[in-house]
Chains A and B, each alone.
Chain A
Amino acid sequence: MATVHDEIDTWLAADLHGELSDGEQSTLHAHLIDCAACRKTHQEIKTMNKILEETLAQEKADPAFEQRMLAGFRRRAPQRGGFVKLIVDLMRLRAAQIAAVAAALLGLVQIGRMITGEPVITARERERYAQVEVTAPQGPESRPSQAGALGRSDASNDMVQWKAWSKDTAAGQPQDLAREAPPPPTAARSKFREESKATAATVAAAKTAQAETTESEAFAASPENPPSVKEAGKTTVEMPAPELANRKLIRNATVEVEIVSFDNAVQKITAFANEEHGYVATTDSEKQTNGKLKGQIVVKVLPENLDRFLQRIRSLGELKNQTLGTEDVTKAYFDTDARLKNAHVMEQRLIDMLKTKTGKVSDLLQVEKELGRVREEIEKMQGELKYWDSQVQFATVTISLAEKDMEEPAAFLLKERAQLSLYTPDVEKIYSQAKSLASPKVQITNAQLNRDYSGRVSAQLSMLIAPEESDAVISRVKGFGRVENFQRQTQRLAQGGSGMSENARTKRDKVELNIAISREEQEQAFQQTSLRIRTSSVDEKAKELRALAEKQGGRVRSSTFSSDPNGREVASVSLRVAMKNYPALMQSLNSLGRVENVSVQRQDRADAQVDESNAPADVSIQVYSQGNIVTEESGLLTTLRRTLAQSAGAIMWSLRMIGVAIAFLAPWAIAIVGIVWIARRAIRARSKP
């Protein structure tokens, strides 16, 4: 431990500040008396303490300090309004914080869905317009109406285009727009309304002259559209109206038709294609196992002939499915075109630079490299334009053809399945005999011999037999023992299709045979008898009964004895004897006592292959004695006890109901109390400034 001398400053400071205990004080004073150095230090510290007190007293906060602090606080932390305070107080609760975080997360998810969901909606809209086009009625004299349909598709494309345009505006590419942007939104919208009115008219009154005039007016207005151009000029900068001829539309259709003859249909399609100034691009076909053909043909036709061509395709057979799509690549096409022109200019400039041949070699090399790059780009763009040109020039029609009755089966297969149960005294022997049947035409797929804990043996065999051998093998198996439960099942399976067919062949498949072999003992009795014998000495008579049974060659299968508190004794004996000994046994039973309630149940089997004299017969005998007259169950005490038990049960039941009621109401009560508590707290917080 450090001495007082070592820590004299600490001791002296504590002394000056009055923080020494009495014991410590005397220790310090004792030391000061002894040590001159520490006395000097004491002197110094005392002086310094005084100076310190004086100096720091000047620096103390003045009396108005607290008032200033309060005023400043009130100025800088003004009291909040009631509602804001309530919200702030609420937010301090952990539950409210969690709820707020969850709500914020949900909001974010919703916003995300809105952002990502938008393009999906646009796509669906486009699809709907395409459908309008497909469902437009197309009669034999459908020239004007087709023109109308084209005009309509134009309108729908205008809408799509307009959307793309507005997006582009956001992206900031005004120079591209100036070339081929559609009329501004207001014009497009009014035009679209006009068009849709025309469509409605067509649908309602198919081919009235009135509708035709409306449509043709609409059509006449749509390519040049002078009124809308004027409107456009009013609202925004002058823009050239889109021309139908300049639109780059890729049209394609897929059709699914069921026809009678494939080859015939292909010939007809080829003829149609030629008539419509188109050509068959690819054909492929596939022959099914039942001889039916199906395949796909791709035809290219001029876009303006597409609708007529599709109409003719319908006449080939039953139309299963048809889709028609239009893709507008106008913008991308002209973008690429403009870039191509720029690239050409660039190329020319680079060539000029090379021709003048001034500058360093490295610069020239740079120019050459750049020229190579520009040329590569030009080629790529030219390729793209060519591809689009080819796509736009011809509409692609994919026709899927399938002949009628595609599903007709090619063949039938007869599947036979047989099942039989054998009862035999020696299971193992029969099992090995059945196994020895195996040959190339008889294949054993599964063979198993089971012996359970009580020494019972059973066996199971499954085999596949060639159809021609099946009857012989099955009859041999039947000879092995007593047959029970023979089942045979035949199934006709259609191959390569379903339903009926006149031409299909029928084939027999291998016969599947399942054999279950069990010992005779497990066999069900041929005849079952039950009877009761009333006697006074049950035990004795039961013993006698067993002796009788043995004499008749019977076997006791089970035997029980019981006596109840009312003095009643019951012995149950179950016997099995052969049918030939059955009458003798029944006769001898009369000697034991009064025989009552005899009931005999016999099971005659349909297959009648049972050896009746040896078939087992079961006899179950109940030997009993009459008990006391008044039973234990109806005494006075018993009634009393039962009443008490029932009343106790009733009390328990009502207790349970009370519990259920509490469980039903408690959460609501807690919730209501909680809400009231929070509300009171909030009101208190608000009222207390």
Chain B
Amino acid sequence: MDPSEREQYRAAIHGDREAFEMIIRTHSRPLFAIAYGILQNREEAEDVVQDSLVKAWKTRWRVRDPEKFPAWLATIARHKARDFFRKRRTVPFSEQLIEPVEPEPMNTAVLDQQMHSALAALPELHRAALTLRYFEEMDYRTIEDTLGLTNGALRGILGRALASMRKQLRPALAAME
């Protein structure tokens, strides 16, 4: 880890507000990606990120090792997102997916929806990995660090995620070509 980054985490843990706000600037996007991956809803994901940041600030002294700060932030976000997800379980998922603004051609809209439902069918961790990759274009190593995965596990996860989506979307893909 970069020493200046490390110093920033350390200062944040010790209650330096400026350092923590800096971390908000650099880390809220990956957090958003994780939350979105789990919830598939932007408003909710934003709320989750907001809640997670406040919680992290309030409980920052629990982190003893500054190196683990980003992974710890990601864990908080995942937990929060899961809580949100559980709360709304009664609401049918498909309703959430209808996007109100879509002036695109019909087949793209259909494909979009199919894509979303294929995403929704994936396990939570796979979704988070995918969103981190596609939102933030992170390399595998950073994603593994953020999600707290062991070395090399991510490749299998992403492979399986794409394979499962590919199988679900096969008819649509065939139509595209």
Least distance between B26 CB and chain A CB atoms (Å) = 9
Interface residues of B in 44-59 (CB under 8 A from A): 46, 49-50, 53-54, 57-58
In the complex, per-residue mask of B131-147: 1 if CB is within 8 Å of any chain A CB, else 0: 10111000110000000
Alpha-carbon gap, A47 to B162, bound state (A):
11
CB-contact partner of A73 in B57, B111, B131, B158, under 8 A = B57
Q: Indicate whether B61 reaches chain A with its CB closer than 8 angstroms.
A: yes
B-side contacts of A125, CB under 8 Å:
none
A47 to B165, CA, bound (A): 12
Asked if A205 CB lies within 8 Å of chain B CBs, one says: no
Q: How large is the interface on B (under 10, 10 to 19, 20 to 34, 35 or more residues)?
A: 35 or more
Return the chain A residue nearest B162 by Cβ: A13
Q: Taking the nearest CB of chain A, how far is it from the CB of B71, in angstroms? A: 19
Q: Is B28 among interface residues, defined by CB-CB distance under 8 A?
A: yes
Q: Is A76 an interface residue (CB 8 A)?
A: yes
Digitize B5-41: 1 where CB-to-A-CB distance is under 8 Å, 0 elsewhere: 0000000001111100100110011001000100000
Interface residues of A in 329-382 (CB under 8 A from B): none
Let me know if A48 and B159 touch, CB within 8 A.
no
What residues of chain A lie closer than 8 Å to B133, measured between beta carbons? 17
Cα A428 to Cα B162 in complex, Å, equals 111
CB pair A47 B36 closer than 8 Å: no
CA–CA, A321 and B119, complex, Å: 97
- Of A43, A47, A57, A76, the residue contacting B54 (CB under 8 A) is A76
Please measure, in the bound complex, the distance between the C-alpha atom of A53 and the C-alpha atom of B115, giving whole angstroms: 11
How far apart are A544's CB and chain B's nearest CB, in angstroms?
92
**A58-92, CB under 8 A of B: which get 1 and which 0?**
01110001101110110011010000010001001
Per the bound structure, the CA–CA distance linking A7 and B157 in Å amounts to 12
Do the beta carbons of B57 and A44 come within 8 Å of each other?
no
Is A36 an interface residue, CB under 8 A from the partner?
A: no
Query: Which residue of B36, B155, B163 contacts A14 across the interface (Cβ within 8 Å)?
Result: B155
Specify which chain A residues have a CB less than 8 angstroms from the CB of B112 in the assembled complex. Answer: 55
* C-alpha gap A61/B33 in the complex (Å): 8
In the complex, whether B68 has a CB less than 8 A from a CB of chain A is no
Kindly supply a per-residue 1/0 record for chain B positions 153-177, scoring 1 wherever the CB is within 8 Å of any chain A CB and 0 otherwise: 0011011111101100110010011
| A11 CB–B CB distance under 8 Å | yes
B15 / chain A contacts, CB cutoff of 8 Å: 85, 89, 685
CB distance B158 to A51 under 8 Å? Answer: no
Q: Which residues of the other chain, B, contact A66 by a CB distance below 8 angstroms?
A: 24-25, 28-29
Bound-complex Cα distance A17 to B139 (A): 8
**B79 in the interface, Cβ–Cβ < 8 Å?**
no
Q: Which of A7, A17, A47, A70 contacts B24 (CB 8 A)?
A: A70
User: Is residue A45 within 8 Å, beta carbon to beta carbon, of the partner chain?
Assistant: yes
**Nearest chain B CB to A262's CB is how many angstroms away?**
83
The interface residues of chain B lying within 8 Å CB-to-CB of A689 are 17-18
Contact status A17-B21, CB under 8 Å: no
Given contacts A56-B131, A56-B135, A69-B49, contact A11 B159 (CB under 8 A): yes
**Nearest A-chain residue to B112, judged by Cβ:** A55
Q: Is A612 located at the chain interface by the 8 A CB criterion?
A: no
Let me know if B29 and A52 touch, CB within 8 A: no
A65/B134 contact (C-beta < 8 A), A11-B159, A51-B115 known: no
Q: Is the CB of B158 within 8 A of A44?
A: no
**In the complex, what distance in Å separates the CA atom of A65 from the CA atom of B53?**
13
CB–CB B28/A69 < 8 A: yes
Do B134 and A52 have beta carbons less than 8 Å apart?
Answer: yes
Nearest CB in chain A: distance from B169 CB, A = 6
**Which residues of A approach B to under 8 Å, CB–CB?**
7, 9-14, 17, 19, 41, 43-45, 47-49, 51-53, 55-57, 59-61, 65-66, 68-70, 72-73, 76-77, 79, 85, 89, 92, 685, 688-689
Q: Which 9 A-B pairs have the closest CB atoms?
A: A10-B159, A9-B163, A56-B134, A69-B28, A9-B159, A72-B50, A13-B159, A13-B162, A76-B54
**Chain B residues with a Cβ under 8 A of chain A:** 14-18, 21, 24-25, 28-29, 32, 36, 42, 46, 49-50, 53-54, 57-58, 61, 111-112, 115-116, 130-131, 133-135, 139-140, 155-156, 158-163, 165-166, 169-170, 173, 176-177
Known: A55-B112, A70-B25, A689-B17. 15 other contacts (CB 8 A): A9-B163, A10-B156, A13-B155, A43-B177, A48-B165, A48-B173, A66-B25, A69-B24, A69-B46, A69-B50, A73-B50, A77-B54, A79-B17, A85-B15, A685-B15
7 contacting pairs across A/B (C-beta < 8 A) = A9-B163, A13-B155, A55-B116, A61-B29, A69-B24, A69-B28, A689-B18
